[in-house]
Structure 1
């Protein structure tokens, strides 16, 4: 219900207005209540004072009439005077008695009636002034009344006391007529706290506490001096008690005003105030609703603009009106500034994402090409490594053959050395020499073939080293050395072959040259020594070829490992470039969700 700002503002404003109106209404009510109570106190005091004066005048009248009865005391026949006074003064009876116990009554009294023993007689003599007795129940008629009495004679030595009996009917009627409100009432209380008159006859002569436990003689006597009415509950209703003494008596006239009835005007005022508050609230709600609706309408424009940005096409080209200088205009200006910044950032992101996308595409394409070339290079290096392994095996085999050739050359040298001593066995061993010469010729052919193959392999290695670029420079140097050694081996093999061919020719003509064996043997020894030296050189060259080829194999292995690592790095770079391309595409899609200026 209060989820919108408009509803909250209206609710808050209405609450403030309501509290203010209620506070004003309560303050007015309390002020009026105090004024009404003050007026009630004043009017009630005036009423009770006026009515007490009325009762006091009634008492004074009765006292005056009772005083005139004293003239009949010395009259020989006072009946006519007494009867006239009784009937004209509204008394129920009039009489007088002497201190010597004589008495005069209009009615015949009992023979044993002692007038001097009567309470009114004794009280008058005791006080020596006119008195009013406390209310009591008359014998005939059986009603409540009082006696007015006054001593007659010199002060301190009265001879008689005159008295009149008065029923309190008039007083009861007068007091009962005191009703400021329909539920209010008045009553008389004597100084002892006994009720003299009350609208309820059953309470007559009963203690005033019978009305309420809070009432008592002291409380009643304190009423005339009270600043305001004493609030007391009777029968579940609140009453305000006001009191005033009746002049010439010890009575207190008490007026009990029913509080709710006295303040009934406040109820009407409260209703009127409530109606005014309700009308004011309705007008305030209407006025505040119109004002707040006008204010929040611009906030709704800001909200709609933000919703357009947050959903749909994300329109960042929309701008709010910035007319005026109020807070809403400042919000609109700040919104436009914020939108400009966001749009500028997104434009730069769009341009950057496009650049990143193109760059990542080029990187991915280059990496793929590089990956293919690296894989091709790795394959070539694998083939080169395999060829180098074969070359290594061939060179090792060549070295072994050279070692054997050196051993054979050494044996031939030994044979030639001892040739002089075994000339006679030349013919027999010539066949063996011929066979050995053919064998050597075969070996030399093998060496020549190995040298030729080595030369070819070294040439291929140089070509591969040239393809490898900077990494194959050391390999090219080794291949050049191997080629040089192969050429030397080929030259030596040719020379040995020529020598062997010559030896074979000589063996073939051995039979003809037996006579020249001695001289020729020296040449043979020299040739054999030369062969031994050449074979030694071939053996050393073969050893050097083996070492160089081993180094070439190590370099090729290292190149192969580096190429494999490069291939892995290229694949990782390719994957990273593809991921970057995907991220750039996603970023472009996100930016494409906003509508930007061109």
Structure 2
């Protein structure tokens, strides 16, 4: 079991937790903001330093260029005034090599072929024989002493001569290794094309500068005490490598292969500045890089990079952070000591007094008064005490009222329970009567339904008989029509037989006349007389037969008239029967309609009785529920009276 924890400790812990959280969050925000501001200021400082140093380094590098430009102008002037003596040009180049106070270790000049005397005259000259007699000289300086170094054809065709000559623009080479005297030297070369007074190119002058000569100037670049500088040329070859000789002349991507991730050389070559953080082997820690392009010539940029350890840049921020943390710790210690004392005096002691009264009230004692002196307080505790006293008085009144109401509810619930029991008995009796009535109505409805079904069947039978009579009437009517047709046909046949009889009569007369004429003819007409006799006999037989047929047809017509008369009379009888069947069908329809209406009425009465029965059943259920509710209400009222008796009330 855990030991009880005091309210003083809980409140102190809560307040201190919130207070500490706010201070810690605000401190973290301040530290982050200060760090960001300081880092941004430091980065801006580095950027400005790099830009300034870039300009300064540019001026340092341009000293050699300017000196070479002066020599180019001097040579152009000599050429323009018609000087063709090679020694004069050698002397001029030698003087400029001596006068140089910058970092030039050698200077040279290449004239186009046959511009300075005839090159063929110098083919065997020891100084010019390697280049076919062409004026190509190279003077080196060592401790103030000038010496001439022969040039080879490959050197004459090198980029420091050919590029300036082909582009007709100044040119600066990347750093490369070159043999001067007996030493290999890392250097770069300035090249400037020279022109006559007509603007025609006549050659190229060059000046060589060692990478090492820049060290003293670059070492002075120190934005911070621990800052280091890296300088690289247009091809990315290192000219100065943070004070180390390693890597000079090598490509920066070979020495620092992660440079490729930032495309440093490409960005500088396009004239863009860069800044970022990255782990560096120069310090073996994370460093801040600020890189700026140095415009050497049109389209040629060198790059200067100032590298500073990030911890040096953030040193001021770290100091501010440590001071803020120290202040935070002091505030936390003071708060931990003072807060519990204030809470105990202003909160805990007062709450303890009020807690005793609340514990007493929890035991059912509602007669407790507010602690003495609290009614005189004019702060929130006084308001709580006075409100508590008022609440106790109201609570007493409410409990008394509830007790009185509970007693009345108990009495009323008992009376309702008695009434519900009586209503339940009467409702059950009514429900029984309705059930018997409903059963009788169901039997009556069943009988009426059977009667209605019988009437409906009779109506259907009358309808069928009517339909059969209609069909018979149609047949009789058709028979009458056909009898008339037969009679008319017989009359036509009689007319035909009369015509045949007339033809037979005429034929008989003609045969008789033929016989008379045959007799007159004598023997010659004997054969014809025989034929005429046969025709006459045939005409007589035909006439006799036609008479018999006419007699038969006349007899047949008389019988057809009688039959037609009988059929017509049958038709009239069928029409009378049909009319009576129509009347019988109408009566049966009325009986059927009345039976259906009676069936519907009985159904409606039956539905009404069923609804009444359902309502009575529901009433019985409701009465039962009301009885249960009354019993429950009576029990709850008695329980409430017992619960109220727990409290000790004011009189």
Q: Which residue of 1 aligns with 2:275?
A: 229
Q: Which residue of 2 aligns with 1:53?
A: 55
**Aligned counterparts of 1:111 and 1:319: Cα–Cα separation in 2:** 117
Change (3 A) 1:68 1:344: closer
1:62, CA displacement in angstroms? 0.9
1:24, CA displacement in angstroms? 2.1
**Aligned counterparts of 1:178 and 1:279: Cα–Cα separation in 2:** 42
Q: Which residue of 2 aligns with 1:142?
A: 184
Q: Does 1:99 align with 2:99?
A: no
State the superposition RMSD in angstroms: 3.9
Q: Which residue of 1 aligns with 2:166?
A: 126
1:82, CA displacement in angstroms? 3.0
Q: Can you list the C-alpha shifts for 1:355-377, whole angstroms capped at 9, x where unaligned? A: xxxxxxxxxxxxxxxxxxxxxxx
Q: Which residue of 1 aligns with 2:228?
A: 185
1:64, CA displacement in angstroms? 1.4
**Aligned counterparts of 1:297 and 1:336: Cα–Cα separation in 2:** 19
Task: Tell me which of 261, 274, 292 is aligned to 2:325.
Answer: 274
Higher relative contact order (CA 8 A, sep 6+): 1
Q: Which residue of 2 aligns with 1:460?
A: none
Task: Tell me which of 356, 375, 396 is aligned to 1:322.
Answer: 375
Q: Which residue of 2 aligns with 1:203?
A: 247
Change (3 A) 1:289 1:170: farther
Change (3 A) 1:269 1:597: same
Given that residues 102 and 115 in structure 1 are in contact (C-alpha distance below 8 angstroms), is that contact kept between their aligned partners in structure 2? no
SS in 2 for 1:192: coil
Given that residues 137 and 149 in structure 2 are in contact (C-alpha distance below 8 angstroms), is that contact kept between their aligned partners in structure 1? no
1:37, CA displacement in angstroms? 2.5
**Aligned counterparts of 1:329 and 1:251: Cα–Cα separation in 2:** 82
Q: Can you list the C-alpha shifts for 1:17-68, whole angstroms capped at 9, x where unaligned? A: 2222223222322332232233223211211111111111122221111122
SS in 2 for 1:274: helix
Change (3 A) 1:217 1:76: same
Task: Tell me which of 18, 31, 50 is aligned to 2:20.
Answer: 18
1:319, CA displacement in angstroms? 4.4
1:271, CA displacement in angstroms? 0.8
Given that residues 97 and 161 in structure 1 are in contact (C-alpha distance below 8 angstroms), is that contact kept between their aligned partners in structure 2? yes
Task: Tell me which of 277, 290, 296 is aligned to 1:242.
Answer: 290
Tell me, which stretches of 5 or more residues in structure 1 are unaligned? Answer: 347-587
SS in 2 for 1:202: coil
- Give TM-score, length-normalised by structure 1: 0.51
Q: Which residue of 1 aligns with 2:603?
A: none
**Aligned counterparts of 1:244 and 1:300: Cα–Cα separation in 2:** 73
Q: Which residue of 1 aligns with 2:623?
A: none
Q: Can you list the C-alpha shifts for 1:517-569, whole angstroms capped at 9, x where unaligned? A: xxxxxxxxxxxxxxxxxxxxxxxxxxxxxxxxxxxxxxxxxxxxxxxxxxxxx
Q: How does 1:556-571 map to 2 (within 5 A)?
A: none
Q: Does 1:295 align with 2:347?
A: yes
**Aligned counterparts of 1:111 and 1:222: Cα–Cα separation in 2:** 32
Given that residues 175 and 237 in structure 2 are in contact (C-alpha distance below 8 angstroms), is that contact kept between their aligned partners in structure 1? no
Q: Does 1:77 align with 2:88?
A: yes
**Aligned counterparts of 1:132 and 1:178: Cα–Cα separation in 2:** 23
Change (3 A) 1:67 1:16: same
SS in 2 for 1:187: strand
Q: Can you list the C-alpha shifts for 1:389-416, whole angstroms capped at 9, x where unaligned? A: xxxxxxxxxxxxxxxxxxxxxxxxxxxx
Given that residues 234 and 269 in structure 2 are in contact (C-alpha distance below 8 angstroms), is that contact kept between their aligned partners in structure 1? no
Given that residues 194 and 208 in structure 1 are in contact (C-alpha distance below 8 angstroms), is that contact kept between their aligned partners in structure 2? yes
Q: Which residue of 2 aligns with 1:153?
A: 195
SS in 1 for 2:375: coil
Q: Which residue of 2 aligns with 1:421?
A: none
1:288, CA displacement in angstroms? 3.0
Given that residues 223 and 242 in structure 1 are in contact (C-alpha distance below 8 angstroms), is that contact kept between their aligned partners in structure 2? no
Given that residues 208 and 216 in structure 1 are in contact (C-alpha distance below 8 angstroms), is that contact kept between their aligned partners in structure 2? no
- Give TM-score, length-normalised by structure 2: 0.47
Change (3 A) 1:111 1:230: closer
SS in 2 for 1:143: strand
SS in 2 for 1:142: strand
Q: How does 1:26-65 map to 2 (within 5 A)?
A: 26-65=28-67
**Aligned counterparts of 2:356 and 2:219: Cα–Cα separation in 1:** 79
Given that residues 49 and 244 in structure 1 are in contact (C-alpha distance below 8 angstroms), is that contact kept between their aligned partners in structure 2? yes
Change (3 A) 1:20 1:169: same
Which structure has the bigger radius of gyration?
A: 1
**Aligned counterparts of 2:387 and 2:264: Cα–Cα separation in 1:** 82
Given that residues 138 and 150 in structure 2 are in contact (C-alpha distance below 8 angstroms), is that contact kept between their aligned partners in structure 1? no
SS in 1 for 2:184: coil
Q: Does 1:174 align with 2:230?
A: no
SS in 1 for 2:87: coil
Change (3 A) 1:301 1:272: same
Q: How does 1:123-522 map to 2 (within 5 A)?
A: 123-140=163-180, 141-154=183-196, 157-199=200-242, 200-209=244-253, 210-211=255-256, 212=258, 213-217=260-264, 220-221=267-268, 225=272, 229-235=275-281, 237-249=285-297, 250-293=301-344, 294-305=346-357, 319-320=370-371, 321-333=374-386, 336=389
1:105, CA displacement in angstroms? 2.8
**Aligned counterparts of 2:17 and 2:383: Cα–Cα separation in 1:** 28
**Aligned counterparts of 1:61 and 1:125: Cα–Cα separation in 2:** 22
**Aligned counterparts of 2:151 and 2:136: Cα–Cα separation in 1:** 11
**Aligned counterparts of 2:357 and 2:178: Cα–Cα separation in 1:** 101
Q: Which residue of 2 aligns with 1:559?
A: none
1:339, CA displacement in angstroms? 7.4
Q: Which residue of 1 aligns with 2:514?
A: none
Q: Which residue of 1 aligns with 2:586?
A: none
1:190, CA displacement in angstroms? 2.9
62-71 vs 321-330, greater mean Cα deviation? 321-330
53-62 vs 74-83, greater mean Cα deviation? 74-83
